[in-house]
Amino acid sequence: MPSTNNQLLTVSGLSAAPGSKTQGFLKVPGTDVSIPLTLINGTKTGKTVVITGGIHGGEYPGIETAIRLASHLDPKDISGRLAIVHPANPHAFFAKLQYLGPDDGKNLNRMFPGKALGTVSEKIAYAISSQLFSIADFFMDLHGGDIHEALVPFVIYPSACDPEVSRVSAEAASLMGILYVVGASSTNGTFGCAAQSGVPGFLAEIGQCGLWSEEEVETYLRGTTNVLAYLGVLSRPVEDLGSVTRIPGMIGAIAAQTGCWYPSVKPGDKVAKGQKLGEIRDFFAQPLGEYFAPQDGTMLFVVTSLAINEGEPLAALG
């Protein structure tokens, strides 16, 4: 049974006493970035959970979910501590840029664990990893299909880490009410970096194409609070939110040309090895490159923008 909590929760100069909530900003040193941060310190002891929305500025369901969790969760109901970031990348949010931060053109999700003396995105990553991953027992990173990205909901957990960290991550990910639960071996993204320091967690994807709906936010709220119940942070039964399909890994197609992208598949499509995924053409409608499925699988995301640059993701299947 959790016992009475008597520990102060402090992050970046903000403090929440036991049984209280504090809202303010995590100021990223050496930048003008102020990240909205909510600290909820429960009345009872328990795990410390870090939740981030808006690592990518155009992925709205996760951002709105983080805002609502921060607003609605009551310290009286919490055993443990919560630090909620909403959103992680406010400059990117207001710039409405795809994937990238406006200060340095970098993808924040690829900057972890970050650098204290790096570019703005590297400094944001460093602030989050050094101040939040360091206190976390579990990490939930809420994403969605970006402005140029269509997808079926899926959740990715770390597979190239301590086996127990991976097992707990996968078990929690399976409680989100999301059909596809995908293992990933990358270590420089948010959840991969957290896992390398022994913190289990996952990255979830709900919503697409720069849109958000009440239904998507409700799905996200049901899933995240179910995981909080699994972790013992909310005292209520863990629900079965539906069966899941476990996928060991995700394989992406990367653009080898700059031009116009014409996909032949949609998210959720079952594809066979060798099936055409799409092609890139130039402005004179001449084909520059064709892309084929490297194996049988299910399409998890497909880029929807006509514009494509060499080196950018086109689609991924698992």
Q: Which stretch binds Zn ion (CB under 5 A): 56-64, 182-190, 230-238, 261-269?
A: 56-64
Residue ranges in 139-168 that form contacts with Zn ion under rule CB under 5 A: 143
Nearer to Zn ion, 68 or 148 (CB): 148
Closest distance of CB 146 from Zn ion, Å = 6
Closest distance of CB 109 from Zn ion, Å = 6
Q: Is 56 in the site for Zn ion (CB under 5 A)?
A: yes
User: Distance (Å, rounded) from C-alpha 301 to C-alpha 198?
Assistant: 29
Give strand ranges (E) for the chain: 9-11, 14-16, 20-27, 34-41, 44-53, 79-85, 138-143, 149-151, 154-158, 180-184, 201-205, 245-247, 251-254, 259-263, 270-271, 276-281, 287-292, 297-303, 307-308, 313-317
Nearer to Zn ion, 239 or 312 (CB): 312
Site string for Zn ion, 99-138 (x = CB under 5 A): ----------------------------------------
Site string for Zn ion, 59-78 (x = CB under 5 A): x-------------------
Question: How do strand 79-85 and strand 149-151 relate by DSSP bridges?
Answer: unpaired
Closest distance of CB 130 from Zn ion, Å = 21
Nearer to Zn ion, 4 or 309 (CB): 309
Cis bond before residue 294 (omega within 30° of 0): no
Closest distance of CB 232 from Zn ion, Å = 28
Give strand ranges (E) for 124-273: 138-143, 149-151, 154-158, 180-184, 201-205, 245-247, 251-254, 259-263, 270-271
Per CB under 5 A, residues contacting Zn ion are 56, 59, 143
